[in-house]
Amino acid sequence: MSSKRSSLEVYLLEKLLEELDKKRGRGTELISLYIPPSRQIGDVMSVLREEYGTAANIKSKSTRKNVQDALESIMQRLKLFRKPPENGLVIFCGAIPQEGAGSEKIEIYVLEPPEPISIYLYRCDSKFYLEPLKEMLAEKEAYGLIVMDRSEATFAKLKGRSVEILETITSGVPGKHDAGGQSARRFERIIEQMAHEFYKRVGRHANEIFLNTPNLKGIVVGGPGPTKNEFVNGDYLHYELKQKVLGVVDLSYTGEPGIYELIERAQKLLKESRLVEEKRLLQRFFYYLAKRSELVTYGEKEVVEKLQRGAVDTVLVSRDLDLHRVKYRCPQCGRIIEQTVEGKKLEECKYSRPKCEKCGIEMEFVEAKTLIEHLAELAKLSGAKIEVISAETDEGEGLKRAFGGIAAILRFGG
């Protein structure tokens, strides 16, 4: 994930792609349009007018109408642009069957991608073409992790919020020999030779794994005792990997527990990793909770209240939060109310609507958005930051389980 993209931007784009991925047209009538920043809007409009003329030859009357309506919607939207934005423009448009309504509705989605587009693409299909955007969201930078002592070595990769344990190898190197005299010295030489051979094996495994890892940002080596230093200082790693060693860290454990301890203790070395950033944010929240509780709050009602007062510095919200903010309006008096509902009950809200307390008539469904989007809008109004947190760490799981997935660090207490 690029450091220029906030966790909120990534979350919102991921959610949009998940939504678009589920949409299907009745025929090949959903349009995906990718416009690179170098492409002239006038050229794109000319292509779309040609496509509009070609669509007149489609035999199916409904498909013909849907494709032409979608092209018309796209051209109307493109008139708002003198030129593509800095990263280009992506438009998805088409007739989407409406659940329970037995009809179709033209839906259009216009977005600036998180990275510059290099291709021009027009595609008409039964689904939207999302692969270029999905590729942009894929975590690109990775860190290599090695935890070792003289008995074993474990290799792992840290990519964004994901930790992948790759392999553990054992050495067979025996412990220190207790006997004295020449036999002890001879045995010590044998042990040192076996350790040397083990380090060579660790180096070969590291070379095979990490030389083939795209966008490897660095390697961190950890473990108890002097073994890790002997390995790093020796001539065991390929020179390209040796140049990427960010540091050596003392640990209490080896194996998989050692990998997670390494991530915990090497936060400064891994500071650009999203996983480490999330741990840092939550550790700050938990520190204030224990030491200066007036500088934190949690729960939807409390966080919203503090956001509206402008007291929030940073909102911390679990990305697994399956809550939506639903808005209703009274058709007679115009009164508006909002409710928070679970995602699985969202569809019911469109048909099972509350009655206006003043007029006694059923209110109209206006819109629904995720609670994260609602909090993000409130945060923007007050200049607060919002961080979307995964449950990949113990701290992230604690936010979700103990605090309902919503918490905030405040600018001031009270």
Q: What is the mean pLDDT of each run of 10 residues along the chain (414 residues)?
A: 69 93 92 97 96 93 94 96 95 87 86 92 96 88 95 94 93 63 72 91 97 93 95 94 95 96 93 88 95 96 96 96 94 93 83 90 92 95 95 89 96 80
Cα distances (Å, whole numbers) of residue 294 to 87, 115, 280, 313, 412: 42, 40, 20, 13, 8
- Nearest of 241, 91, 228 to residue 149 by alpha carbon: 228
Angle at 67 between CA 61 and CA 69, to 5 degrees: 95
Return the SS3 of 35.
Answer: strand
The dihedral formed by the CA atoms of 41, 44, 49 and 52, expressed in degrees to the nearest 10? -130
Closest CA to 71 of 52, 54, 90: 52
Instruction: Give one word for 334, left, alpha or beta, with left for phi > 0 and alpha for psi -120 to 50.
Output: left
CB 168 within 8 A of CB 178: no
pLDDT at 350: 79
In angstroms, rounded to a whole number, what is the distance separating the alpha carbons of residues 374 and 391? 21
Task: Sketch out the chain's domains with CATH numbers.
Answer: 7-137 (3.30.960.10), 142-177+184-272 (3.30.420.60), 291-410 (3.30.1330.30)
For residue 4, the model assigns a pLDDT of 55
Coil, helix or strand at residue 336? strand
Phi and psi of 176, rounded to 5°?
-65, 145
Query: Which tokens is 329 given?
Result: 């309006």
307 three-state secondary structure:
helix
Judged by DSSP in three states, 223 sits in: strand
- The pLDDT of residue 271 is 85
- With contact defined as beta carbons under 8 Å apart, do 220 and 250 qualify? no
Find all residues with CB under 8 Å of 2, minimum gap 6, and list them: 114, 115, 140
Residue 82 DSSP label? S
Check residue 182 and give its pLDDT.
56
Q: To 10 degrees, what angle do helices 274-291 and 394-402 make?
A: 50
The answer, as to whether pTM is greater than 0.85, is: no
CA distance 251 to 19: 44
First CA to last CA distance, the chain: 36
